[in-house]
């Protein structure tokens, strides 16, 4: 059974669904890590395609937060945050991702009242021959029965990350 933080207890199996996305980038691991951990670099690629970067603050330390605002094509602002749990340069980031308000308070997703409030993400980077394999694993923390939309949305989430990772690939090609 998972612990309260979404991690597995010793010898237990995970009952909550896990999303796993892998992508290879034509860039060294250190550059990919910097793209995830420097606010000026994040501003150049993070978010869904078509969204405009509005603002962000980044406190890169365990317990610190990346708090950002994006503007949708229709003009609606969307706030989000990562709260970092673990940072192992340049190979691993563990963070809780959620939607937020302008003050950093966790809120429900603007697109679904049934979306889990918090998703525990583990991002790992492995370098081979100058290329970096990024693996992103995510699972809801304390997901309720009502919040099963996460399981049903894997394909949509993967498509969303594909677009975001396309933007990351474009950024990495230029730097």
| pLDDT band of 170, cuts 50, 70, 90 | very high
In a domain, 126, yes or no: yes
Q: pLDDT tens for residues 5-25?
A: 434 333 333 444 589 999 999
Q: pLDDT tens for residues 85-108?
A: 999 999 999 999 999 999 999 999
What average pLDDT score do residues 30-35 get? 98
pLDDT given for residue 17 in this prediction: 54
Which domain CATH number covers 133? 3.30.530.20
Alpha helices in 28-153 (DSSP H): 29-37, 39-42, 149-152
Domain that holds residue 94: 19-174
| pLDDT band of 112, cuts 50, 70, 90 | confident
Residue 18 in tokens: 């896990």
Residue pair 93/37 in contact (Cβ under 8 Å)? The answer is yes
In a domain, 137, yes or no: yes
Beta-strand relationship, 119-128 and 131-140: antiparallel
In a domain, 4, yes or no: no
Phi first, then psi: give them for residue 92, nearest 5 degrees.
-155, 135
What average pLDDT score do residues 31-43 get? 97
Number of folded domains that form the chain: 1
What average pLDDT score do residues 16-44 get? 93
Least confident of 13-22, 67-76, 100-109, 137-146: 13-22
Q: What is the DSSP letter of 8?
A: B
What average pLDDT score do residues 120-135 get? 97
In a domain, 2, yes or no: no
Those residues whose C-beta lies under 8 Å from the C-beta of residue 47, and which sit 6 or more positions away, are 53, 68, 70, 164, 167
- List the one residue out of 84, 75, 25 whose CA is nearest residue 50: 75
For the chain, the maximum distance between any two Cα atoms, rounded to a whole number of angstroms, is 48
């Amino acid at each position: 059974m998972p612990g309260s933080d979404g991690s597995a207890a010793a010898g237990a199996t995970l009952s909550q669904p896990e999303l796993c996305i892998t992508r290879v980038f034509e860039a060294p691991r250190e550059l990919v890590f910097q793209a995830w951990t420097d606010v000026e670099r994040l501003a150049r690629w993070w978010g869904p395609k078509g969204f405009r970067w509005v603002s962000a603050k980044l406190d890169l330390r365990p317990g610190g937060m990346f708090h950002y605002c994006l503007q949708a094509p229709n003009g609606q602002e969307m706030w989000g945050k990562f709260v970092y749990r673990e940072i192992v340069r340049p190979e691993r980031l563990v963070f809780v991702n959620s939607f937020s308000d302008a003050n950093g308070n966790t809120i429900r997703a603007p697109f679904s009242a049934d979306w889990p409030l918090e998703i525990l993400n583990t991002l790992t980077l492995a370098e081979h021959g100058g290329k970096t394999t990024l693996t992103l694993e995510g699972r809801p923390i304390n997901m309720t029965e009502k919040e099963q939309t996460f399981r049903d949305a894997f394909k949509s989430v993967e498509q969303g990350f594909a677009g975001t990772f396309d933007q990351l690939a474009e950024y990495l090609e230029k730097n």
